[in-house]
Amino acid sequence: MRGRELRGELDAFLAETEQDLVAFRRDLHMHPELAFAEYRTTQRIAERLTAAGLTPSVLPRGTGLICEVGSGDGPTVALRADIDALPLQDEKDVPYRSTVAGVCHACGHDVHTTVLLGTSLFLAQQAAAGLLPGRVRLIFQPAEELPGGALEVMAQGGISGVDRIFGLHCDPRVDVGQLGLKAGPITSACDKLVVRVSGPGGHTARPHLTADLVFALAKILTELPAALSRRVDPRSSLSLVWGKVEAGTAANAIPDDGLAAGTVRCLDEGAWHAAPDLIKSLLESVAGAYGVEAEMDYTRGVPPVVNDEVSVEMLAEAAERVLGAGAVVPTQQSLGGEDFAWYLESIPGAFARLGTRSPDGVTYDIHQGTFDVDEKAIAMGVRVMAATALTALWEVGPLDTVTTTAMA
Ligand SMILES: [Zn+2]
Ligand SMILES: [Zn+2]
């Protein structure tokens, strides 16, 4: 019953605030801040939330904040936006171009932040009117690009007591007014691997008296990817690709050390968790066969974002309700990484792709100095996030009480 009124309430709210939200986004765009340095951004968000009667709490490092709307024993739904910019030059010729050399909101996090601010203000109104059937935790997360901000939020108890979490990301390949959704994995994992081999070294005339390090390194380069292709389920698309290799200085000398570096990409969460141990054991067995010592340095990126099916249904239902029929479009798993994945390792939730392309307009790519959005996406994002939070609360909450309160 409440669902039917929601669209009208959002229309009324956005008629008043959309211009202001666009101005807020442009201000952030002109003053981008890098991961864990988002002090000004954090202050701007905090000021606006405080002015709306909310009580934000800034994270201990002074960047990023968490704020709760609503009270009582009802369920808790979290909405997350990332607030950091990228170390890139802004190449656009627009009045709101970045004023900071070499720093740019080229991943659309200024839009995510503004969408969540608008959603917060709307939900604060709903709570004041007694229409919020539970609590919504607003997470303005720092340092997504590092990555690491999600882990910082979790270390501060940011998702404790949360039943379900939602987030979205600008997608310049989807038209404004549409929302890209997919159940299951929607982004990928990407880790970095460095292998160092060492041996006694010697003359190339006598490889049998030492360890033929270059030969062993070559075996590692080809055997590791080959063995992985037979030890890991092919559907996980785990792939190790080398980008750098170094060993030796002279044609007739066997060197005493060498190095290879590459990336491990993976579409599947289980395979991603198992990858370091498996690679380590394969490395040791290949190196051992040729008498060289091998050690590896494995740097974890982020796991894939794996969307919970029920949460995706909630997003779809909410988007149809407030954007209209046909607003939900399918989307594919990308090879990019996104640290929202860390939340979904602990609690159910889903991550959506917000259309930011003007119909028939240019398709900008993210992580480019030319990236920009159709600003109508901000209001669309507010509609979707607000409706999703309410949908999730209605579906897990004490529906009878809610209906009574709403109707009173
Ligand atoms: Zn990015
Ligand atoms: Zn991003």
Query: Is pLDDT of 143 > 60?
Result: yes
Q: How much is the mean pLDDT over the chain?
A: 94
Say what percent of the chain tops pLDDT 70. 96
**Is residue 194 within 8 Å of 319, Cβ to Cβ?**
no
**276 by DSSP, 3-state: which?**
helix
Q: What is the mean pLDDT of residues 62-86?
A: 95
pLDDT in tens, 269-308: 899 999 999 999 999 999 999 999 999 999 999 999 999 9
Place of tokens 């968790």: 273
Q: Using the predicted structure, report yes or no on whether residue 229 has a pLDDT greater than 90.
A: yes
CA-angle at 344, arms to 341 and 350, nearest 5°: 90
For residue 143, report the distance from its CA to the centre of ligand 1, in Å. 10
Cα-based angle 260, 263, 265 (whole degrees, multiple of 5): 150
Centroid of ligand 2 to alpha carbon of 338 (angstroms): 7
Token pair for 232: 């890991």
Cα 198-200-202 angle, rounded to 5 deg = 120
pLDDT exceeds cutoff 50 at 404: no
Residue 156, number of CB atoms within 10 A of its CB: 15
- Could you list which residues have their CB under 5 Å from ion ligand 2? 107
Q: Taking CA 305 as the corner, what is the angle to CA 300 and CA 306, rounded to the nearest 5 degrees?
A: 125
- Compute, in angstroms, the gap from residue 145 CA to the centroid of ligand 1: 6
The whole-number pLDDT of residue 44 equals 98
Place 348 in a pLDDT band, splitting at 50, 70 and 90.
Answer: very high
* Ligand 2 centroid from CA 213, angstroms: 42
Is residue 152 pLDDT above 50, yes or no?
yes
Contact 56, 65 (CB under 8 A): yes
Answer whether 392's CB lies under 8 Å from 3's CB. no
Q: How confident is the model at residue 77, as a pLDDT?
A: 98
pLDDT at 87 over 70: yes
Which ligand is nearest the CA of 104, by number? 1
Distance 397 CA to ligand 2 centre (A): 31
The answer to whether 93 and 154 have CB atoms below 8 angstroms apart is no
For the segment 38-56, the average pLDDT, to the nearest whole number, is 98
pLDDT, tens digit, 9 for 90 and up, residues 100-135: 999 999 999 999 999 999 999 999 999 999 999 999
Closest alpha carbon to 144 in 167, 173, 121: 167
In the block, tokens 């029929």 appear at: 325
Query: How many angstroms separate the CA atoms of 1 and 5, rounded?
Result: 7
Mean pLDDT (whole number) for 77-88: 98
The DSSP string of 64-109 is -EEEEE--SSS-EEEEEEE---BSS-----STT--SSTT-B-TTSH
Q: Which ligand is nearest to the CA of 170?
A: 2
Check residue 407 and give its pLDDT: 37
Cβ burial of 198 (10 Å; 0-12, 13-18, 19+) is middle
- Which SS3 state, helix, strand or coil, does residue 271 take? helix
Exposed / middle / buried, residue 250 (Cβ in 10 Å: 0-12, 13-18, 19+): exposed
Averaged over 324-347, what is the pLDDT? 95
CA dihedral 140, 144, 148, 150 (to 10 degrees): 40
Neighbours of 222 (CB within 10 A): 11
Give 74's pLDDT tier (boundaries 50, 70, 90). confident
**Comparing C-alpha atoms, which of 296, 338, 317 is closest to residue 190?**
338
Average pLDDT over residues 225-232: 95
Nearest to 391 by CA among 352, 358, 356: 352
Query: Any idea what the Cα angle at residue 263 is, between residues 258 and 266, rounded to 5°?
Result: 145
Give the Cβ contact number of residue 205 at 10 Å: 9
Model confidence, pTM: 0.86
Place of tokens 């970045």: 98
Q: Cα(391) to centroid of ligand 1, in Å?
A: 28
Q: Is 76 helix (H, G, I), strand (E, B) or coil?
A: strand
Residue 397 pLDDT > 80 = no
Q: To which H or E segment does residue 218 belong?
A: helix 213-231
Between β-strands 189-198 and 257-266, what pairing exists: parallel, antiparallel or unpaired? antiparallel
List the beta bridge partners of residue 45. none
- Percent of the chain's residues with pLDDT above 90: 90
Reported as a pLDDT band with limits 50, 70 and 90, residue 73 is confident
Residue 141 sits at the vertex; the CA angle it makes with 85 and 168, to the nearest 5 degrees, is 80
**Cα-to-centroid distance, 280 and ligand 1 (Å):** 30
C-alpha 368 chain-centroid distance: 17
Average the pLDDT over 57-67 and give the result.
98
pLDDT-derived band at 2 (thresholds 50, 70, 90) equals low
